[in-house]
Each structure stands twice: as C-alpha cells, then as structure tokens.
Amino acid sequence: MDTHQTVYIAAQQGDNPAMIAVTTTKDMTATVSRKQEFSDFCAQRDSQNTIQLNVVKWTYMLCDALRQNYIDYSIKSHKRNRLQMSIAGASSSVDYHDACIKDLENGHCDYDFTFESGRKYHKIIMSAAGSRSVHAFVDKKTGEVYKSASWKSPAKGVRYDMRIIEQREWLLQHADWAGSYLYAR
C-alpha cells in the first residue's frame, strides 16, 4: 500500500449520485470527505436563500400583527373608559376618548413595531413615545422566535418556529403587543 489510498463510494443511488471520498493512510486512519456536485450546492443555497427571504417576510407580518393588536387593545380600552366617563357625566373625557378611538380607527398609533437585522437575529423593537425596547428575536436562518432576555440577546428556548405553518398562523393571530405569547408554553 502507498502512503495513502483513496476510494470513491456512491452515497446514494440514481442518475446523479453523491460521491464520498474515503482516504486511508499507512497507519490505517481514514478520513472521509463528501464531494458535492455544484448543482447540489446551488440547489441547497437557493433553498436557504428562500427560507431567509421568507423569514424576513414573516417578521414584517409579525410586526404588523403586533401593531394591529395594540390598536385593537387601545380601542377596547378607550370604549370602556368612555362608557365609564359617560356614566359619571364627564363629557370632556368622553370627547377625548371619542377622538382617540377615531385616530386609532384611522391607523394613527403611538406604538410602532419594527425590526433591525443583526448578525444572527432580527430584533423586533417596540417604539413608543421616544423609548424603545426589544420585543422578541427571530433567527434569520431558521425563523425561530425567541423572547428577549436583554437588548442584545434572546432568552433560551425557542418559543415558535415560523417555518411550521400551524405555529406561524397561531403566532400571527395570537401575538399581543405586551408579549404574553412569548412566555414558555
């Protein structure tokens, strides 16, 4: 035997099998390397890019759902307060709540949800009255949603995976602006 011997083995059957190279040295140690066809590499890269683009789209959808949830919550609160004020006879407060409800129904809201992309995560940020806080983190490659532990890092444990249709639909329907949906289930 020479100093090393390389043998190629088909790792799968079919028209375009993936080849594995097994190199054996004189001292009988073996190294295994997989030869990947360029077409396989391109297909894998395309699917990874598609997932990452979908994660961006789903993150925008989550931000919109959170904003809409805040608007719905605020309208309910103002209607409840307007009812209490009308019973108490405070007409100026009733007018204030009516104006707030009208603004909210027209889409004017003092809370906004946006996201910033970091190296590994999309950071969903809740902005209100000049202050900002992290609402959640979304993994850029996998679409996994995490509760925030701090401004810079997520809490341990995946809360939702947006690649799974059922979880994504539930998330978009039940996400609330205060973040209670992010606590461990």
Query: Using one digit for the tens of pLDDT, what is the confidence trace for 87-97?
Result: 877 777 888 88
Q: pLDDT for 7-27, tens place per residue?
A: 555 555 555 555 555 566 666
In this structure, the answer to whether residues 57 and 137 fall within a common structural domain is yes
**What is the reported pTM?**
0.75
* Shared-domain flag, residues 172 and 132: yes
Domain count, the chain: 2
Question: What are the pLDDT digits (tens) for 117-142?
Answer: 999 999 999 999 889 999 999 999 99
Which range of residues forms the domain containing residue 18?
Answer: 4-35
Verify that 73 and 157 share a domain, yes or no. yes
Statement to judge: residues 46 and 73 lie in one domain: yes
Please tell me what DSSP assigns to residue 154: B
Do 9 and 48 fall into the same domain? no
Residue 42, pLDDT score: 80
Both 86 and 116 in a single domain? yes
Q: CA separation (Å) from 161 to 37, 45, 142, 158, 167?
A: 30, 21, 8, 7, 6
